[in-house]
Amino acid sequence: MGFIGILLLVVFVISALLLIVIVMIQDDQGEGLGGIFGGSSSAFGSRSGNVLTKTTSILGTVFILCSFGLAWVNHTPEGGNVIKAARQEAGVQQEEWWNQQVETQEPNQAGTSNNAQ
């Protein structure tokens, strides 16, 4: 994964947690945790809507960019066949069903029966 992958993962988790907190703090008609700070007077002053809205937008952008970055860093270069890659990793060799040899049973001779008494 490398240094960039770990850095992206750390920023991703921190931005997700901060985004949750910021969204919960926002006051939506007195509902949510924003009412804890006293309704109209909040901890951020009278312009709290603008600050919280901008912070939410920035954290949302960071979150989306980190998620795309993590997907790009951790992509499979060969792409596609996950089952084949898992079998190769496990060391299991399996033939395709159309290449397998069919075991045939010889038909019973006429007049003989398998239930001989």
79's CB contacts (< 8 A; 6+ apart) are: none
Range of the domain at 80: 2-89
In a domain, residue 108? The reply is: no
| Contact of 12 with 70, CB cutoff 8 Å | yes
Count: domains in the chain = 1
In a domain, residue 110? The reply is: no
Enumerate residue ranges in the chain where pLDDT < 50: none
Tokens representing residue 27 in the block: 């006051």
pLDDT of residue 89: 75
In a domain, residue 100? The reply is: no
In a domain, residue 25? The reply is: yes
pLDDT of residue 7: 93
pLDDT of residue 85: 72
**Global pTM?**
0.52
In a domain, residue 21? The reply is: yes
In a domain, residue 7? The reply is: yes
The full DSSP string for 44-68 is T-TTHHHHHHHHHHHHHHHHHHHHH
In a domain, residue 24? The reply is: yes
pLDDT of residue 34: 52
Measured from the Cβ of residue 66, the count of other Cβ atoms closer than 10 Å reads 20
